[in-house]
Structure 1
């Protein structure tokens, strides 16, 4: 499984092109030729960039949903709304479609942040607000999400 690391501040040009930071580009280099999928995030006003293999694995799971169940069908439609395939150009820039930039409220200053096997792209101010808002509740969230896990010696404390 892909395990991306890092948070980077970047700028988008007027056409929505973003230079992918060199450390992130290095991490993505083994899979860069396969392309990526960019989509609206479900819970936050940001974008998610999936390496193609990660996207295909997710679509495999979603393909198992019964499309004759109305909720499943609605979920699939909403989850895939606005999805676009993207590639890095020869200079290492990612062109983010204008409709997705608009959804995330990204104008110029942005943050690219790793999220295990995907990358999130945020408007810089919204990212800082989301991280700041979560700071107060993070200890409680960590305990709720990770506190019931058995101690398997992974060193997470």
Structure 2
């Protein structure tokens, strides 16, 4: 699957159903039939939606870990905590389970943001706060992560 593009604001209803934005649904159309995995994010109070092929690729890496090492076993347990298989309903909605709503703090206003090959689902206020918190450090972070010197000063 190609990289996903876009950040969208939408609403969740009282049952935790979220209408997938049409532009994102169009990008996901080749993988919708296989379903998705919805899980807690590792570093942020948001949810991550993996297309099934992306999840299976991630699990191939996780499955290589030696489970007789405590830290690996602990990681696997924490990484897969709350994982749910999700499908879009006939109306193109995604049902977010109550335990994952609790983790993410999602209420009514939601941000759905592409993150290369997965989708992050945020409570809008928490998303705005995370963006604001990272704004000052982003230039330094970009330089550290992407600014590898190839000898002639051009990255």
Normalization by structure 1: what TM-score? 0.94
Instruction: Look up the match of 1:28.
Output: 28
Alignment partners' CA distance in 1, 2:57 and 2:145? 24
Alignment partners' CA distance in 2, 1:92 and 1:111? 16
Q: 1:149 to 1:33 in 2, by over 3 A?
A: farther
Alignment partners' CA distance in 1, 2:125 and 2:107? 11
Instruction: Look up the match of 1:122.
Output: 122
Unpaired runs of 5+ residues, structure 2, are none
CA offsets 1:48-85 (integer angstroms, 9 cap, x no match): 00000000000000000000000000000000000000
Q: CA RMSD in A?
A: 1.4
Q: 1:150 to 1:98 in 2, by over 3 A?
A: farther
CA offsets 1:65-118 (integer angstroms, 9 cap, x no match): 000000000000000000000000001000010100110000111100000000
Instruction: Look up the match of 2:101.
Output: 101
* Range with greater deviation from structure 2 (56-65 or 141-150): 141-150
Normalization by structure 2: what TM-score? 0.95
Following superposition, the deviation at residue 2 of structure 1 comes to 2.8
Instruction: Look up the match of 1:46.
Output: 46
